Chain A
Amino acid sequence: MEVAAAKAIGAGIAVLSLFGVGLAMGNIFSTLISSVARNPAARDIVFPIGILGFALTEAVALFALLIAFLILFT
């Protein structure tokens, strides 16, 4: 197998982890919405933690993208 083909396949496999990240993102915001729906007064407490969770999960997605780029370009 040529190196370029192997790199392309490797990069494709590397981003399969985004499946878990998408699941987690949906989880964060669905919990955020239902907790605010149960107790609207908690919005100012819960929202910053929700945004922090979103950013940390997005970081995992970008780690996967980074690995894909590393496989493809080096």
Chain B
Amino acid sequence: MAVEGKAIDALGQFELGTVLGPVGAAVGFTQSNLYMLISAGLIFVLMMSGMRARAIIPGRMQGLAESAYGFIDDMLQAQVGEAGRRFLPFVFTLFMFILFGNMLGLFPYAFTYTSHITMTFTLAGIVFVLITFVGISLHGRKFFGYFFPEGAPLWLAPIIIPVEIISYLSRPISLSVRLFANMVAGHVMLKVFATFVVMLAGLGTVGPFLAVAPLAMNVALVGFEVLVAFLQAYVFAILTCIYLHDAVHLH
């Protein structure tokens, strides 16, 4: 139940159980896995059915698929330039996966797989390893010159270099925690206000009229969460592009 004793159970919604009955229980197939598969399927259907028409003047579905592709392409070209084009499949996959994950979680009884730190840290870790690998493979040993900006006086080196290294190593942490905390905070707020609605509605005859206030707050909150879902996917993608710019061009 949402209310246990005196506390509101806001974090229990993130616990995982197995779905699909005995088949799911045998392999440990959780809601997280189910929604990841649904999201991958939806992205696949969007892109395949969108581009099936191949008209010069796009219809609605094709326009949608093309605008998603063009959005990421423009972002990569603006941040990294022509050399960034080869990262387009990766950044596109990342953006669409996070976007669909955030958005699907807003449906009733659905699960937001991006609300688990394991999930977001894996994504951020992949981005971090990719950036480091690209930087080292493109620039060799000069990659470590990234930590000491040119033009800075040499006596500042013992201060600047550790600070730069720490801020570089904090990138996967900040990327992952930003997405994870946004999703958790949003869904916790939704759960808390929904519990208020239930608690108020049970209070005698005037209860249901009082319960309209947290319900209106919840409606506004869902609207805000749609914005946050898109914004967090966009911020993850654009920060990936900015880090790619750092790796490819070394400042």
Interface residues of chain A, those whose CB is within 8 Å of chain B, are 48, 51-52, 54-56, 58-59, 62-63, 65-66, 73
Contacts and interface: CB of A to CB of B under 8 A. Distances in A.
Nearest to B175: A59
19 contacts: A48-B238, A51-B231, A51-B234, A52-B235, A52-B238, A54-B231, A55-B234, A56-B178, A56-B235, A58-B182, A59-B174, A59-B181, A59-B182, A62-B177, A62-B178, A62-B181, A62-B182, A65-B181, A66-B181
A59 B231 contact: no
Contacts of B182: 58-59, 62
Interface of B: 11, 174, 177-178, 181-182, 185, 231-232, 234-235, 238
A73 B185 CA distance: 15
Q: Looking at chain B's contact residues, is the secondary structure mostly helix, strand, loop, or mixed?
A: helix
B134 to A, nearest CB: 22
A71 to B, nearest CB: 14
Chain A CB count within 10 A is highest, among B178, B231, B232, for B178
A69 to B, nearest CB: 8
Nearest to A51: B231
Given A52-B238, A73-B11, A62 B231 contact: no
A62 B235 contact: no
Contacts of A55: 178, 231-232, 234-235
Contacts of B234: 51, 55
A56 B181 CA distance: 12
Q: Which 5 A-B pairs have the closest CB atoms?
A: A62-B181, A59-B178, A55-B235, A66-B181, A55-B231
Contacts of B178: 55-56, 59, 62
A59 B177 contact: yes
A57 to B, nearest CB: 11
B120 to A, nearest CB: 12
A17 B232 CA distance: 22
